[in-house]
Structure 1
Amino acid sequence: MQPPIPIVIGTRGSQLATTQTGMVRDALQQHWGDAVEVSLEIITTQGDIDRQSLSQIGGQGIFTRQIERSLLRGSIDLAVHSLKDLPTEMDDDLVLAAIPPREDVRDVLVTRDGGALEELPEGARIGTGSARRQAQLANQRPDLHFVDIRGNVGTRLRKVYDGDADAVVLAAAGLRRLGLHDRISHYLDPLTVLPAPGQGALGLQMRADATEKQTYVAILDDQATHASVTAERAFLASLGGGCRSPIGAWARPEDEGLRVDGIVLRPDGTDPCRATRTGATEDASLLGTQLGDDIKASGGAALLVD
């Protein structure tokens, strides 16, 4: 009998990160049984240490870079990322081996009284550290005031219950994976508040030369999710990838093809520049790039901030 194939998964140490990584571990073990031996290694990232606002330290790679270095060193075999945190430019020696089925892409409000966006009082304080969320909500409700918050899901929820904010904006996916969906007061329409590229999806990253172990991980890939996030990430890359402008995108299967919506706007929610592309699923990357070109050609280039 062959010894099991060891697969060491690197993950951040937050409750959400370890929950998501545990889901991947369980899926691998369920499919392969005794053929694999899966273990987890906790890795501290810059984003876990530096508590400044993401707008100050820059969001690109701060939750993923240290994990990628562990991959490249060979101390782990697989990294499980929240795909929205993974920069569009990856090291040539790394690949996305699989993208499992996506969770709910929507952003949600958690409020003290369970009210929806339109029910919040004038001048309500909204907790979020995301420029994308702030800008799109300000576009809908210019009267809102935004409170910059960081921290894990529990910390953010306490901002509401302790009275520091009237509402906080979170990703539905994280709350659902943590079993906290009952805290959700209101789901934001994903066409009104477009999600971050890759939101709700996990990226399973490996070394490009680890071809044998890739075959074990590849079975977790979901083609529809993979195509959707490929289009979203191509859109983001076409706009500069690492820029700090508010950018949202949502791709999903439609009429046996793919539909992609994208937006870029000013941080205060003004001058939204929006476009849509549809096409064949196999052209996902091209669709995303073309969508970015459409946005830039219609005035979005002037809104992009490095």
Structure 2
Amino acid sequence: MQSKPVRIGTRGSALALAQAHETRARLMAAHGMSENDFEIAVIKTMGDQILDRPLSEVGGKGLFTKEIEDALLSGDIDMAVHSSKDMPTVLPEGLEISAFLPREDVRDAFISPKAKTLADLPSGAIVGTASLRRQAIVKRLRPDLEVVTYRGNVQRRLKKLADGVVDATLLAYSGLKRLGMEDVVTSVLDEDAFLPAVGQGAICIETRVGDAATGALLGAIHDQATAECLAAERAFLKVLDGSCRTPIAGLARLADRRLSLRGMILRPDGSEAHEMSGECDAADGVALGQRIGQALKERGGPGFLIG
């Protein structure tokens, strides 16, 4: 079907590779292709190399995508597979998100050898997480806990937990499921109490604008419901984000062509939070996301969003 292999760009972590392999498997099934029709190109990003500082201090989300996007723009790869929550809201000129795979479980997983749930942790226990959102929500729910920045891939974070560096950590349940590691999960956090990150659980595929051949391949595996939810969530985030270092959470759900969206902004120390929900026809999700983002921006007031 292809005169040369389709080149799929990805980060090199076990989770990133699992996502690239899932994309390849779906394309193979949809088009009757074989593994030989694809080449998976592992690209190291700055976010993979800087592990001693919070991402918000060194450039934010784009640190996980820039080198891969450079390879896409130069033609070294044909498509890039990303975790949607790692994607900046503004893409480089000439690139677009062409497809989303069906969304996995959006919830966060609590992992600890010392307690069954976040609520059960003893006062003063140390929770490690790299996410500003998770840090702020933990501090809001349990101000008596110590929360520390804790970076690295899934395996590295679990190793630190096993070594006693922290008493508990939080990871995306979707990533653990994709790695076949559900058994490490102590409990799964309810999305109502612990609102997920924008895009959590969703894999997106980025391509060059105007690449009709790659777009046609991806059209067969694109999940429209996920795309509509992510359009609303990303519109919400874009109003708030920029170079922002404020914890932000958001989740859209779609049922019977009605889209609901809940968004939240928090102080990094969890001392203050604002949230808002809305509902609309599926086709109006972007406008709803923008309205909720703007309303929360106004509700937080000057100085709430740290840029």
TM, length-normalised to structure 1? 0.96
- Name 2:6's counterpart in structure 1: 7
Counterparts of 1:8-157 in structure 2 under 5 Å?
A: 8-34=7-33, 37-53=37-53, 54-113=55-114, 115-157=116-158
CA distance, structure 2, for counterparts of residue 197 and residue 272 of structure 1: 16
CA distance, structure 2, for counterparts of residue 174 and residue 65 of structure 1: 21
Contact in 1 for aligned 2:6/2:78 (Cα 8 Å): yes
- Name 1:164's counterpart in structure 2: 165
After TM superposition, what 4+ stretches of structure 1 lie above 2 angstroms from structure 2?
2-6, 299-302
Secondary structure in 2 aligned to 1:269? coil
How far residue 124 of structure 1 moved from its aligned partner, in angstroms, is 1.1
CA distance, structure 2, for counterparts of residue 60 and residue 211 of structure 1: 28
Go from structure 1 to structure 2 and tell me whether the alpha carbon gap of 1:234 and 1:114 turns closer, same or farther (over 3 Å shift). Answer: same
Contact in 2 for aligned 1:239/1:292 (Cα 8 Å): yes
Counterparts of 1:185-224 in structure 2 under 5 Å?
A: 185-224=186-225
CA distance, structure 2, for counterparts of residue 301 and residue 108 of structure 1: 33
Contact in 1 for aligned 2:79/2:214 (Cα 8 Å): no
- Matched residue type, 1:273: H
Contact in 2 for aligned 1:58/1:244 (Cα 8 Å): no
- RMSD of aligned Cα (Å): 1.5
CA distance, structure 1, for counterparts of residue 84 and residue 267 of structure 2: 24
- Matched residue type, 1:263: M
Aligned residue pairs, count: 305
Structure 2 stretches lacking a partner, 5+ long? none
Secondary structure in 2 aligned to 1:10? strand
Give the % identical residues.
Answer: 42
Contact in 1 for aligned 2:79/2:205 (Cα 8 Å): yes
CA distance, structure 2, for counterparts of residue 230 and residue 281 of structure 1: 10
Secondary structure in 1 aligned to 2:8? strand
Contact in 2 for aligned 1:234/1:289 (Cα 8 Å): yes
Secondary structure in 1 aligned to 2:5? strand
Q: Does 87-96 or 105-114 show the bigger shift?
A: 105-114
What are the Cα deviations for residues 144-178 of structure 1, in whole angstroms up to 9, with x where unaligned? 10121111111111222111111011010111100
- Matched residue type, 2:12: G
